[in-house]
């Protein structure tokens, strides 16, 4: 099968392209090679022999139409990622993520391409799932500046004010985006669902957790927290951990994410299931940000992390989700443990520093 991987020269996209090529698929990569990501003007991570590279922006209809020629399926990885700095980033996020997705879907409808795997994100959930001992499952309200300034980071029950117990989020949870990036990821899923119903296509959104591993960009505020900590350690500096370090996350290795894309593509091509379906993609190992910083510092032989008490208002306290649906329906299993993955990540070089917003 011939597969188009948008953003296929980026961190996650290059691993997806390599995985599909190894499986015997014919792979074409469409990537803008933006200078914010590929500062040296190179083609990013080396792509396997036989993978075709087409340089162009997914927001340009003509280049997208060219990229879709002869293609049977698309893995849409191209996106501007990360929390961003402030609302000044909103036009860039919406333009890249939502306009880019709309242009791609319109071109797929015209070209008769009916299979889509979308790089989604767990950020669509906002705060994760919480339970109060007295009031059961409750929705955590957006965090307040006054509480964060006072070091009160844990969400509390809106009914009684008691601390809440975080639990795993299921795919059935209602979207509740808490920042611009998250809002664009929700919009991408809605666009994909509309496209699938309108043209008889099938789409799967893979809601990635915190992806890390070889090939992550360095020295950019738009990168994932693992990359930010790794960059600090490479400079001989201590990782600076926001809040109290107790934020719960799921760190999943990029190779396991690539394997999830392969499983999703096989599911779609098998011709079973509904027009649109979402799957959480996580390792199943719940870790705190502080725990990850300490593991990475030890593996790098660097200084111990510093807990700063700083915060970002658009951040969420806890979000970890169950990947049981992906395991049971697609047969996917994560292969890289937290300990092994962090040890590997500490030993490999990062990608050349990016000057601005990061892309996959």
Q: Could you list the active site residues?
A: 181
- Whose tokens are 């009916």? That residue is 114
**Residue 222 tokens, joined:** 């738009």
CA 297/CA 132 separation, integer angstroms:
35
Per-residue tokens: 276 = 């649109």
The answer to whether residues 117 and 6 touch, using CB atoms and an 8 Å cutoff, is no
Between CA 103 and CA 34 the distance in angstroms is 18
| Residues 6+ positions from 267 with CB-CB distance below 8 Å | 204, 273, 329, 330
Q: Rounded distance, CA 268 to CA 265, Å?
A: 5
Candidates 2, 1, 6, 62; CA nearest to 30 is 6
List alpha helices for 34-152, DSSP H.
Answer: 61-67, 90-93, 100-111, 145-149
Nearest to 281 by CA among 246, 323, 222, 244: 323
Please count the CA atoms within 13 angstroms of the CA of 100 that sit on its side-chain side: 25
Give me the residue label for tokens 């006072």.
Answer: 150
Give the count of alpha carbons within 13 A of 355, CB side only. 7
The C-alpha atoms of residue 233 and residue 300 are separated, in whole angstroms, by: 7
Q: Which of 138, 139, 156 is nearest to 148 (CA)?
A: 156
All residues at 6 or more sequence positions from 127 whose CB lies less than 8 Å from its CB, including other chains: 139, 140, 155, 176, 178, 316, 317, 318, 319
Between CA 215 and CA 43 the distance in angstroms is 13
């Amino acid at each position: 099968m011939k597969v188009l991987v948008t953003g296929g020269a980026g961190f996650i996209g290059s691993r997806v392209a390599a995985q599909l090529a190894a499986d015997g698929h014919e792979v074409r990569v469409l990537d803008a090679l933006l200078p914010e990501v590929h500062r040296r003007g190179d083609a990013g991570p080396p792509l396997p022999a036989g993978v075709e590279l087409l340089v162009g922006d997914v927001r340009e209809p003509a280049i997208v139409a060219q990229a879709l020629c002869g293609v049977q399926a698309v893995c849409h990885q191209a996106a501007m990622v990360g929390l961003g700095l402030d609302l000044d980033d909103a036009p860039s996020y919406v333009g890249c993520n939502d306009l880019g997705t709309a242009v791609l879907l319109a071109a797929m409808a015209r070209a008769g391409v009916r299979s889509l795997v979308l790089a989604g994100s767990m950020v669509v959930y906002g705060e994760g799932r919480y339970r109060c001992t007295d009031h059961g499952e409750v929705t955590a309200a957006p965090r307040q500046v006054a509480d964060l300034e006072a070091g009160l980071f844990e969400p509390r029950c809106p009914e009684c004010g008691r601390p809440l117990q975080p639990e795993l989020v299921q795919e059935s949870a209602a979207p509740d985006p808490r920042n611009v990036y998250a809002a664009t990821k929700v919009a991408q899923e809605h666009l994909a669902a509309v496209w699938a119903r309108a043209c008889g296509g099938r789409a799967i959104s893979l809601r990635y957790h915190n992806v890390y591993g070889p090939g992550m960009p360095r020295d950019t505020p738009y990168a994932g927290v693992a990359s930010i900590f790794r960059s600090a350690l490479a400079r001989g500096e201590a990782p600076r951990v926001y809040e109290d370090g107790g934020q719960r996350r799921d760190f999943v290795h990029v190779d396991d994410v690539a394997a999830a894309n392969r499983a999703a593509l096989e599911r779609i091509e098998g011709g079973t299931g509904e027009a649109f379906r979402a799957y959480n993609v996580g390792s199943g190992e719940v870790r705190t940000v502080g725990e990850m910083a300490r593991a990475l510092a030890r593996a790098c032989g660097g200084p111990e992390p510093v807990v700063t008490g700083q915060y970002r208002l658009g951040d969420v306290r806890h979000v970890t989700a169950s990947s049981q649906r992906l395991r049971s329906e697609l047969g996917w299993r994560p292969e890289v443990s937290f300990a092994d993955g962090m040890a590997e990540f500490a030993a490999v070089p990062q990608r050349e520093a990016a000057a601005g917003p990061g892309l996959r």
